[in-house]
Structure 1
Amino acid sequence: MQGRISIRVTDGVADVKLTRSEKMNALDHGMFEALVEAGEKLKADRSVRVVVLSGEGRAFCAGLDMGNFSNMAEGSGGKAVPRDLIARTHGAANRPQYAVWVWRELPVPVIAAVHGVAFGGGFQLALGADIRYVAPDTRMSVMEIKWGLVPDMAGTQLMRHLAREDIVRELTYTGRVFTGQEAFAMGFATRVTDEPYGDAMTTAREIASKSPDAIRASKRILNSAVITQPVDGLTSEAAEQQVLIGSPNQVEAIMSNLEKRAPRYADPAA
């Protein structure tokens, strides 16, 4: 986790920070590994009663590191994107999905404190939390369509339980940027606040003061009530994404963005 994520546990509250601030906490191979490692470590720590997940610097998480899009255009996803996305390497999930899904699997509540930007995978990471406190001017986006991709870090399985289906579809099809205020109106933000981190810590301390057995039981119940058979949905995400990565139109999406020009997409084969 060195150089990517820090963890400090005080009185049952785990303060987890993405620390790649010079890159707006973008998701490279090291960040994916750190998210999984941090989640697994916290799973095993019985002293942890609640987690606050935040990002240092100007952003919560800017999404997939730009270098990985260049790799896709050259026919490789790079280390951050495994070649085989269909393989279930972490229970119901593949590795990129598990970087988000692990926070849902944590036996204790997770509060995401979101500011700056939460684009693409960064937005999906926030969705993996139980609760999201978001600054009003935060910019958020289901940005995968910009790069000719689909949301494939558990986003399709998480968004549909938070917002209306038509809203999820509009955001997924357009990739438009929306604010923290809009996120609250749509159902993605629990609370809009000028101090998302401070307020998240206040709520975390309140949760930590409650019976840890009851809190863990509550999360188990709520998880089972909201999401059933996640393996089917997560596998569907992965199957679609694996076909898209490196395909001609996905490469064109990348190149048109990198070259700052209008894309020239070919008609689909079928």
Structure 2
Amino acid sequence: MNDRVTITVEGGIADVRLNRADKMNAIDPAMFEGIAAAIDRLAGMTDVRCVVLSGEGKAFCAGLDMASMADGGSGLGLGERTAEGANLPQQVAWGWRMLPMPVIAAVHGVAFGGGFQILSGADIRIAHPSARFAIRETYWGLVPDMAGIALWRTLARDDVLRELTYTAREFDGAEAVRHGFVTRLSEDPFGEAMMLAREIAAKNPQTIRGAKTLYNLAADADSASILLAETEEQLKVIRSPNQIEQVKANMEKRTAVFVD
């Protein structure tokens, strides 16, 4: 993993930051590689129970660094795909959704284009009221191609998506909440995201991962498949040591101690 993304783990929470503050965390080829590598690393970290994703400096992510793309960004492996079907640009957004643990995006400044698609991959998105958003690709004569379409269909209405895509206009935090892109607003999105992450990390980690697996099925699977998956995930956790510990801790009014 390069220096475009940093990961710090404490108390079961991975503090993940886009780290190109001088460019408002704009995405260049190195940023694509760094985010994908960070996702790969997190996928294997069984001690991480929740991820908080944010951007250093003045912005979450300003989108594509168009100058760097013009200087050789076309060779990004658009035809090479993960097991889930994502190429590299798609993986930097879709990969957050496919991680086994929940991901909370803390958003400030701007989240344009690719940056907006990256935050859309998070399970929960907390933004500053002054944050600005845009599905920006048509402004540059492009279409959204970083998994946004696959992610937004579970968040916002079809006509809203079309209008925002066709116009490429900016919108604020209040409108983002209204459409479903943002979970809620906060004057301190990072602080609130960390507080929520600590609450999630205090739950049985196998239960949380199982619940995420089920919600990831919701957009595509038929009812019978979801019903079966609910049973399968429940059988994995019921009467397991962590589930028993959760019950005991609740009854004894103490903090549970889980095995990751």
The corresponding residue for 1:177 is 170
Residues 211-226 of structure 1 aligned to structure 2 (within 5 Å): 211-226=204-219
1:50 partnered with 2:43: no
Secondary structure of 2:146's counterpart equals coil
The corresponding residue for 1:245 is none
Secondary structure of 1:226's counterpart equals coil
The alpha carbon displacement at 1:3 in A equals 2.5
- Alpha-carbon distance between aligned partners in 2 of 1:6 and 1:134, rounded to the nearest angstrom: 20
- Alpha-carbon distance between aligned partners in 2 of 1:182 and 1:201, rounded to the nearest angstrom: 24
1:106 partnered with 2:90: no
Secondary structure of 2:218's counterpart equals helix
Secondary structure of 1:163's counterpart equals coil
The alignment's C-alpha RMSD in Å is 1.6
The Cα offsets for residues 127-185 of structure 1, whole Å up to 9 and x where unpaired, read as 00000001111110000001111100000111121011110000010000001111001
- Alpha-carbon distance between aligned partners in 1 of 2:38 and 2:143, rounded to the nearest angstrom: 26
The corresponding residue for 1:189 is 182
- Alpha-carbon distance between aligned partners in 2 of 1:214 and 1:101, rounded to the nearest angstrom: 22
Q: Is the 8 A contact 2:94 2:151 kept in 1?
A: no
The corresponding residue for 1:200 is 193
Q: Across the two proteins, how many residue pairs are aligned to each other?
A: 222
More RCO (CA 8 Å, sep 6+): 1
Q: 1:31 to 1:187 in 2, by over 3 A?
A: same
The corresponding residue for 2:247 is none
- Alpha-carbon distance between aligned partners in 1 of 2:68 and 2:26, rounded to the nearest angstrom: 11
Percentage of identical aligned residues: 54
Q: 1:106 to 1:68 in 2, by over 3 A?
A: same
Q: Is the 8 A contact 1:119 1:143 kept in 2?
A: yes
Q: 1:228 to 1:123 in 2, by over 3 A?
A: farther
- Alpha-carbon distance between aligned partners in 2 of 1:100 and 1:198, rounded to the nearest angstrom: 22
The Cα offsets for residues 205-256 of structure 1, whole Å up to 9 and x where unpaired, read as 0000000010000000000112459xxxxxxxxxxxxxxxxxxxxxxxxxxx
4+ aligned runs moved over 6 Å, structure 1: none
Q: 1:210 to 1:122 in 2, by over 3 A?
A: same
Residues 90-129 of structure 1 aligned to structure 2 (within 5 Å): 91-129=84-122
The alpha carbon displacement at 1:87 in A equals 4.1
Q: 1:84 to 1:54 in 2, by over 3 A?
A: closer
The corresponding residue for 2:23 is 23
- Alpha-carbon distance between aligned partners in 1 of 2:87 and 2:44, rounded to the nearest angstrom: 20
Unaligned 5+ segments in structure 2 are: 223-260
Q: 1:107 to 1:89 in 2, by over 3 A?
A: closer
The corresponding residue for 1:66 is 66
The corresponding residue for 2:125 is 132
